[in-house]
Structure 1
Amino acid sequence: MKDSLLHFYTKSGKVMFLNNIGLSVFRKMPKRMRIWGIYLASYLRKPKPDACKFVIFAQGRTGSTVLVDLINSHPDVFCYGEILASSVVRNVSKPVRYARGLTAFTKTDAVGFKVKVYQLQKAHQQDPGKVLQEFVNQGWKIIYLHRDNLLDHAISDLRSEKTGTYHHTSKGQKQQNLVDINYDEVEKVVKFREECRRAELAALQNLEFFNISYEDHLSDAEKQTETLNRLFSFLGLPEHQVSTRFNKVIKTDLSKVISDYAQLEQRIKNSPYQHFLTAR
């Protein structure tokens, strides 16, 4: 992932820019000093009193990049990326204060970011349920994005890892070669995603949230429009025509994605995951 400051200060008109000197100095600070600097910003720069703040709670490969892109096509919203990713920052002891300080730089009526359950657990040694509860207590809204077909989720994971291609945009898209994916790999990833899903649901217990299923709400343009308008209503914003630069990476026909797909399919049909084939 790109350096956090370069990554965050790229939306002209939606995020306040540091001047070149200030940005250079900030980037050279030790990470611990950066964290404390953002904590300080949470006190010195207060967001609009009526601003809506939100957290997208989602695993990787669930459509979160598409969702953020759709949200950012609304002029009154800015959604950051993964501000708590381990490649950006680690050991943040006060995630809510950190998010409040960082998002204070935005100019829009609504601001948010996305976070993964395992980022809170592993990079910051935090209890996800307690962190989400604190966000809610301080007026943040939770958006829960998930992918229900764990077979597709696993194949998306593995294909991206093997090819190094995580997203397709409408421009410059190239024909991709078939990839080798075996059943043991799929089973391992499905089990990991099942574990993450259990942790997410435990963290969300007794919390109000806006629910988005990738398959039901984001998988095509018509669903995206309807879903985003409902989401904007949830955030207290007017409807807006949305668009995204990104296209689907995984084709519906997996035989066009995976070499020797017939063998993998047969193994899946004789496994506890056979229902994911019929649900596709």
Structure 2
Amino acid sequence: MSTADPGSDKAAMARRQRAALYRKLRQLGMRALAPLQMRRRQANVVMFHVGRSGSTVLGDLIGQHPGVYWDGEIYEHRVFQPYEQNNGTIEYGRTALSYDPVPLLRARMREAGSRIYGFEAKFFHLDYTAYDLDAFLATLRSLGFKHFIVLERRNLLRKIASSVAAHERSEFHIKASANAGVNRIHLPVDAVRIDRNCKPLREFLAGYTRDLARLERSLSADSMLKLTYEEDIASDPAAAYRRVCDFLDLTPVATEVRLAKTNPYPLADMLENFDEVSAALRDTEFAWMLDD
């Protein structure tokens, strides 16, 4: 019967301790260097959008640039989703969730080192904070954010239909090599459940329109790049990527479009209750969205 070699055990333990010490020193070194790297950083940028607007395909392209650390929807992935995993579904007005968006943002910015740091925000992310839009923008400016991207989807009805379809099938994105099937959905005109809220269809449409207009007014004196899904992303996401590179004073590098449209079909084919939705939007400023 073999017996363990005490010397071998001690050597293994010493190796583990050295490895742990190395990791700790490396972590401390990165933290110590973070302020210096952040001062050397070329820019910080935030992209606002309402979702289902091509933000993920664009963010993926931007993130492929070696000079950019694209962090995506940090509040979605690091606040809302972890909360729901532990506590259940979040619904505005019924969920006692409150968070400060600044400490998380500061921590995430350090991860970028000297690269450009970018993240995405949706308007409803602020509903669970003490910040209104203008206060949040002022805080971003104080943190060194001087570049603002506004990504708009003009046909907001398609955004809402796409959100409902994504939630129903639990599939928000598909690979570029995949073919999207027709996702037939029922769109309840009096109680749409998206964005962790429940409101009538027309209230969602009016709210998005109001929020986007307010954002543009608030950024009128800032360095702002406005993109639209229909003109800048739908036919060629790489074109939007090149516009962002120009906005950030970056030389574009070769990238790959890795995501495809999830709902490329007419609304008449998607909506089981298309006639009901048409009636709800008839004689409103949103009626044109039915035919686009």
| Alignment TM-score, normalising by the size of structure 1 | 0.72
Residue 199 of structure 1 and its aligned partner are, at CA, apart by 4.5
Shift of 1:212: 1.1
1:70 to 58, 61, 76: 61
1:3 is aligned to none
Specify the alignment match of 1:219 in structure 2. Answer: 234
- SS of residue in 2 equivalent to 1:104: helix
Distance of 2:262 and 2:119 partners within structure 1 = 23
| Residue in 1 that maps onto 2:254 | 241
Paired residue for 2:100, among 72, 92, 113?
92
Q: Per-residue deviation at 1:79?
A: 0.4
Report deviation, 1:166: 1.6
Quote the offset at 1:164 in angstroms: 2.4
Q: Are 1:57 and 2:48 an aligned pair?
A: yes
Greater relative contact order: 1 or 2 (C-alpha under 8 angstroms, separation 6 or more)?
2
Q: Displaced runs of 4+ in structure 1, greater than 4 A? A: 41-44, 171-174
Measured in 2, the distance between the counterparts of 1:187 and 1:176 equals 24
Cα distance in 2 for residues equivalent to 1:207 and 1:51: 17
1:69-103 superposed Cα distances (whole Å, 9 cap, x missing partner) = 1111222222002223332585226x2x6423322
Asked if residue 103 in structure 1 is aligned to residue 109 in structure 2, the reply is yes
For the pair 1:189 / 2:180, whether they are aligned, the reply is no
Q: Structure 1's 176 and 151: CA in aligned 2 closer, same or farther, altered over 3 A?
A: closer
Structure 2 unaligned regions, length at least 5? 1-18, 22-29, 84-97, 193-200
**Are the equivalent residues in 1 in contact too, given 2:52–2:159 (CA < 8 A)?**
yes
Deviation at 1:109, TM superposition (A): 2.8
- Answer yes or no: is the 8 Å Cα contact 1:42–1:100 preserved in 2: no
Q: In the aligned structure 1, how far is the partner of 2:107 from the partner of 2:62?
A: 21
Alpha-carbon deviation of 1:260? 4.1
- Per mean C-alpha deviation after superposition, the further-off stretch among 169-178 and 212-221 is 169-178
Match of 2:34 in 1: 45
Whether the 8 Å CA contact 1:117–1:200 is kept in 2: the answer is no
TM-superposed CA distance for 1:113, in Å, is 0.9
Does 1:230 find its partner at 2:243?
yes
Report the equivalent of 2:170: 164
Shift of 1:108: 5.9
Q: Is residue 77–residue 108 contact of structure 1 (8 Å, CA) maintained in 2?
A: no
Cα distance, 1:177 vs structure 2: 4.2
* Deviation (angstroms), 1:167: 1.6
User: How far, CA to CA, are the matches of 1:44 and 1:75 in structure 2?
Assistant: 19
5+ residue gaps, structure 1, are: 1-19, 23-40
Alignment equivalent of 2:150, drawn from 135, 144, 148 = 144
User: Could you tell me whether the CA contact under 8 Å between 2:74 and 2:120 is conserved in 1?
Assistant: yes
- Shift of the 69–108 alpha-carbon distance from structure 1 to 2, 3 Å rule, reads farther
Aligned counterpart in structure 2 of residue 114 of structure 1, from 100, 111, 120: 120
> SS at 2:74's partner residue?
coil
- Tell me if the contact between 1:144 and 1:211 (Cα under 8 Å) persists in the aligned partners: yes
Question: Could you tell me which of 234, 255, 267 is aligned with 1:254?
Answer: 267
Distance in 2 separating the partners of 1:172 and 1:219: 16
Shift of 1:174: 6.0
Q: Residue 209 of structure 1: SS of its match in structure 2?
A: strand
Separation in 1, partners of 2:269, 2:255: 30
Name 1:27's counterpart in structure 2: none
Amino acid in the other structure paired with 2:70: C
